[in-house]
Structure 1
């Protein structure tokens, strides 16, 4: 399974302190929670579904100091469930910051493993760093100021799948912002904060992500 999303993130000059700008948005093979059109409601059957490898969302934003990249998967899940830390899934966040938009300057690779019973994360190809390892549910930092955290978070996505089904069935827009399929549910996230000086080359960043399952 490979699921991709592409964002173009504009990095304004330092004079625009605190501003967050996104210069357009384009999606390729848009990722989602579950697989459309049938897997969109609370009655979705997930038997045989590769929950850990299903990238639900890619978020990319920045403040005056850092660029933040985050991927979510393994949800929406009940709040009493642990994170999905599957050692046989390779997640990649690709970042292009110079030249052709499809050039990959930073193919950031993410894998999970275990130290005994405790799950951990390994991240490769971070800007200026070859490898970072550590436990999940903890802020990990590199010598050049990159922060990585993997863990369970309240899913920030807001969507009304019943409204989608009703809209498609009747031809009338039937969304209700009081119905949120993801309210009170969690997803597993990997969040990476990168100092802007390590990644900003004065032009928009192109960022996309994929997952791949290792099989025998």
Structure 2
């Protein structure tokens, strides 16, 4: 058993009496502050530290946002002295390794990750899906543009300029359907360039916190 214990309430800066809505709001703020993809000019060491912190914040939300997991965590939390509770991200990964069978359905995650430790990007996408989806679609209309170009070319061959216009519109709409249904928000977001991700994160920060992050 690890000598230190992750203080998930401290990770999210909420009291132990926080409601589920308060925990969700706190996660939104902390995940935006710690998301490594907003650090476009960071060196590898800074990127690594941010990634670890971002994962720990996702872990905190994963545990505290679910009533069953939170109850099981609180039972352990209450037995640990204050000196053993820490905000070091490593304590979170150690927690999932040490208590692999604590949560229902525990098992080994793909890639050798600690059992049941959530995927931080998927947690982020799930919580922000309503706000993230239009931002992602605005930055990644791959199939819509491809459909427009292909449709325009075929339409021009068949009916010159009028055909080009009709073909471009039809191809664009078909491509947009492929964009919408082909991949999850998390998958598309993960494939965007660093500058695009940073721009999206700044837009989310403006909506959630009222102002964009400054590098």
- TM-score past 0.5 threshold: no
- Please report the TM-score for the alignment, with normalisation by the length of structure 2: 0.29
Larger relative strand fraction: 1
User: Which one has the largest radius of gyration?
Assistant: 2
Larger relative helix fraction: 2
